Structure 1
Amino acid sequence: MIEVKDIIKSYDGLRVLDEASLTINDGEFLSIVGPSGAGKTTLLQIIGSLETPDSGKVIYDGTDIVKMKEAQLAAFRNRNMGFVFQFHQLLPEFSMAENVAMPAMIGGMGRKEAMERAAELLDGLGLGGRLTHRPNQLSGGERQRAAVARALINDPKVILADEPSGSLDSHNREELYRLFFDLRSTTGKTFIIVTHDESLACNSDRVIHMADGRIIDDIHSI
């Protein structure tokens, strides 16, 4: 369980999160929606420990990660969180398999084992024939599936995604959503996704609506 309590965050005197609080249950598929500038991405980054709040708590299974020192937090993030970004963030100089394996190697796994694990994940996502391809040799949908494999490589408890379909066409967007829901069903992982896409949000377990740095609505699917 993740508990977000009274998060405040400001940049250059502008408050972008104003006492945001929510609880996210294990295995939940949660979408965060709202207009641009509502604070969605900042909230996601704080939940994912990529940003530090000015005040408040982010508690994973009883542990407040805000209080962790950077090295401890980096190790916690590597073990427990997987990230999928809008523009995939694959490193162009590495093959797809190397990109996917990298978080595992950073976490201490040997290269051989990490590459085998990456190949297994990519094969399961229909990319077994693309292991040695560089990102610029892949389609947009293939790059984003590779980003999903990278997020899964350390078997994290939580997948966090920021507008993951924003750069995809309608076909690849639907494929990505199907993949997310299939993964949630088969792995039981928690998904927290910032999105403008109502078709994704309406199929989520819960939808958090934000405006002006506040959570203004919390809707559970029936």
Structure 2
Amino acid sequence: MTLPYRAGIAAAVSVMALAMAMPTASAASLQDVNGHTDNWLNEGSATVTFDNGTTLTRQSDVLEALQQCGALSVSCASTTTQDAGQVTKWYDAENTDLGTGPIQNCSPNGNDITQTITAGHTFSWGWNIGASVDVTLVKDRLGIGASAGFSQSSTEASTGAVGITVKPGQKGMLKMGYDMDRKVTNVSIQGGRFGGAQITGLRTETPLPGGKRVGQDIVPCDQQLMNGR
């Protein structure tokens, strides 16, 4: 089976090449998280226990066990053990037209700085097993993330213009977000190595349909933006 390329901990699923018309804000029920520092995916470790009693905790071993589900001779089923909720994952986006970094208006007696920005960010769907996972295997064979309506081959691109206004004493950047669905899943494997296995604690984070967001990350000059600048 050919795996998609490894991009951090996830296979890229969604690309924003922005600046675009300002959409509505994230739904009130979704929690905002800082994508630069958030580590929910890797805060829990998946394990695999084979039918012969062997338990492995290395993420490469868990991935290898999961990949068996791609074989016709192996039967696999997934069960959600925890619905960890939906979040909007935000990132500061680099300004590709005017140079990288924040717009700084740190003179208290200056004027507002208003700029139209073009920027981009690549969003990912992820797993806590340290490597990319085949989308067809995960969605079609296991049904994990099947309701999210995403695929590895599709991209979502938007174009247009986004204005950002930074007042005196502030600095800011355009920020981009995506609504993500988080779940913890167990996978039962029948057949394959040692006759079968159980994967527990598999964390997934998949993008929700229509979940693209854009906003402004603006703070006083003596504070830090989401990316730590």
- TM-score by length of structure 1 reads 0.23
> Which one has a bigger Cα radius of gyration?
2
Greater relative CO (CA pairs within 8 A, separation 6+): 2
- TM-score by length of structure 2 reads 0.23
Greater helix share, structure number: 1
